Amino acid sequence: EEGIGRDDRSERSVANQSASSVHSKSSRSSRSSRSSKSNKTRSSARVPKPGDPWEEEYLFGQRTALLPTDAFKRDYGRVVEALVMCSLRDKARELQTRLRRFEAWVAANNLE
């Protein structure tokens, strides 16, 4: 250590501190990912079984995931356009009719 100057020692000290902070960050991130995994497990365990008192409330909350989004409608329109370009007008018309019928059903049942 006699041949090592003060600057060399301080550089080592900084390197050691950086390495230890990297380890502590990685252990923190692994803990947080473990924590989120357990949260996912818990949230999936919250799905009520048929007949449970809160089943209806759960299903009502899940309905929005079943409704067509604006992005879905946009993509659906692109598929219809592609079918028309491929001379499959009947299929395109059928798809449009099905989507309109579904949207009418959603509106009639106040699911929006």
The structure tokens 């990912």 sit at 33
**pLDDT mean across residues, the chain:** 75
pLDDT of residue 75: 95
Q: Which residue has the higher pLDDT, 70 or 46?
A: 70
Tens-digit pLDDT profile for residues 84-94: 999 999 999 99
**Whole-number Å distance between alpha carbons of 40 and 51:** 23
Please give the C-alpha separations between residue 52 and each of 45, 56, 62, 100, 103, in angstroms, as whole numbers: 13, 8, 16, 34, 30
Give the per-residue pLDDT at 106: 87
